[in-house]
């Protein structure tokens, strides 16, 4: 029989934790599992052999202060090997856990499905992408040569696509002939969320939204 290192209550032989405060019995291995998201940033998990790894445990009055860590474990740890974690009374392990890498950003392109250059692809970059025809001012997606001579109905600054992480929206920039999505004309200045397979019509050209995982 051993004594609880936190509240000094007797712990029966073979019992993993103290029945009063929940602290681990001396010599019991500790395994800590921490789930972090890519957005949460690096985290530091504190592992004290006197306390359970799951859930907070009230500290009894006059309990000894947590000692200075006597070992540092560095990634990769998934989860730590119990044999590598100190379990003597009063020992502490500090485990630095790095969250998984963020998923790569999707690759967004516009593919010409009607026009003079079918299957030409235009990459859509993060941020604002102006669609139109190059003239006095540059544009990000230049449709020059996509419409046949005599049927150039796109404006020089016709529409804008904005890519923010996984969200893609389109807005009409007060163009003369309008911007159409899946056969419906957009109201000038209004933004519409797009998804893979949507078809944007600018002038006589039609462009399909293609989205691939990065």
Give the global pTM: 0.55
**Residue boundaries of the structural domains of the chain:** 1-102, 107-212
Tell me how far apart the alpha carbons of residues 161 and 191 are, in angstroms, rounded to a whole number: 9
pLDDT at residue 61 tops 60: no
Beta bridge partners of 159: 131, 172
Does the pLDDT of residue 195 top 60, yes or no? yes
Q: How far apart are CA 208 and CA 196, in angstroms?
A: 8
What does each C-alpha distance from 118 to 3, 91, 114, 145, 173 come to in angstroms? 79, 68, 6, 11, 25
- How does pLDDT run across 116-128, given as a tens digit for each residue? 999 999 999 999 9
Q: What's the CATH class of domain 107-212?
A: mainly beta
């Amino acid at each position: 029989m051993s004594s609880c290192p936190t509240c000094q209550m007797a712990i029966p032989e073979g019992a993993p934790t103290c029945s009063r405060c929940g602290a681990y019995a001396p010599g019991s291995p500790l395994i800590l599992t921490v789930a972090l998201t890519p957005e949460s940033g690096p985290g530091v998990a504190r592992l004290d052999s006197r306390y359970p790894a799951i859930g907070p445990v009230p500290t009894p009055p006059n309990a000894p202060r947590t000692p200075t860590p006597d070992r540092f474990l560095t990634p990769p740890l998934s989860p730590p090997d119990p044999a590598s974690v100190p379990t003597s009374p009063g020992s502490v392990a500090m485990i630095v856990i790095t969250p998984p890498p963020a998923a790569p950003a999707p690759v967004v392109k516009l593919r010409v499905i009607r026009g003079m250059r079918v299957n030409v692809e235009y990459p859509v970059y993060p941020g604002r992408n102006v669609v139109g025809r190059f003239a006095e001012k540059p544009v990000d997606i230049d449709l020059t040569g996509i419409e046949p001579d005599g049927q150039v109905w796109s404006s020089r600054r016709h529409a804008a696509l904005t890519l923010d992480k996984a969200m893609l929206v389109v807005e009409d920039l007060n163009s003369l002939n309008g911007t159409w999505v899946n056969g419906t004309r957009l109201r000038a200045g209004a933004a519409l969320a797009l998804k893979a397979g949507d078809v944007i019509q600018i002038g006589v050209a039609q462009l399909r939204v293609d989205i691939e995982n990065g």
